[in-house]
Amino acid sequence: MRLDGKVALITGGASGIGAASARRFVEAGARVVLGDLQADKGQALATALGEAALFVKLDVTSEADWTAAITAAHARFDALTTVVNSAGVSIPATIEDETLEGFRRTLAINLDGTFLGCKYGVEALKAGRGGAIVNVGSTLGVRAGGLFTAYAASKGGVRLLTRAVALHCAEQGYDIRVNAILPGAIHTEMVDGYIAAGVAAGGTREGVIDGFASVHPMKRLGRPDEAAAAIAFLASDDASFTTGADLAVDGGYLA
């Protein structure tokens, strides 16, 4: 029960890595608040997880929603110990195809949303028992791809934001650790969208999946539970001397 007694707010908690993290946290003894705009899916998962879970509707770009989510977490479970910033979007576009509107939308969700999660997370954790913030970055925030202009920019920002917040908390003497995971291609709904686009462009499902897998030395896609396991480790007391770090979950892609 590595996370026994922890109370986590997980954004993007209705699907993908966020949902896998919610399941892993509850299995490990934590109580979780699932924040997402996908109300039906989020509520269904919270119901399946039982009394240890609560769903709140959360637009990560809204300061009012962040305040309401943290208030709801405190009311149901007492003080937060953990914030997982997992909400994100990825819409492929080169610099020639991307629009300013699209670029700003991706940065608003992926980077502004993580900034607000860190800002309000630090405030909540500092006032309570301390704890950990885990941000979901990407290997594309380290090695960019020409088809992922906005996504790579947003995730590169998440990586350095993580380090800046970690340093601030350490320098101020706060008992708050801040780390990031850097997933490779994890087989979530987001990657399913890429697979569908590849099939629509004339490829086969197996061929598109093999293409994603081939860039990873382990020659396969990652599973959401593998990313969730890394998040759970960084949120746990086993990582008590780890802050400002990137943990790659990428089948060797960044090695």
Give residue 189's pLDDT: 87
What's the confidence (pLDDT) of residue 228? 98
pLDDT of residue 197: 82
Active site positions, annotated: 151
State the pLDDT at residue 190: 87
Domains and CATH numbers, the chain: 7-183+223-249 (3.40.50.720), 187-221 (no CATH)
What 3-state class would DSSP assign to 184?
coil
| pLDDT of residue 198 exceeding 90 | no
Terminus-to-terminus CA distance in the chain, angstroms?
Answer: 31
Tens-digit pLDDT profile for residues 51-102: 999 999 999 999 999 999 999 999 999 899 999 999 999 999 999 999 999 9
- Cα 22 from Cα 16, distance rounded (Å): 10
Question: Helix H segments across the chain?
Answer: 16-27, 39-49, 63-77, 100-107, 113-127, 149-171, 189-200, 205-214, 224-235
Q: How many whole angstroms separate alpha carbon 38 and alpha carbon 29? A: 25
Instruction: DSSP letter for 245, please.
Output: -
Query: How is residue 31 written in tokens?
Result: 């109580």
Q: Pairing between strand 246-249 and 82-85?
A: unpaired
Quick one: pLDDT band at residue 1, thresholds 50, 70, 90?
Answer: confident
Nearest to 182 by CA among 249, 255, 230, 242: 249
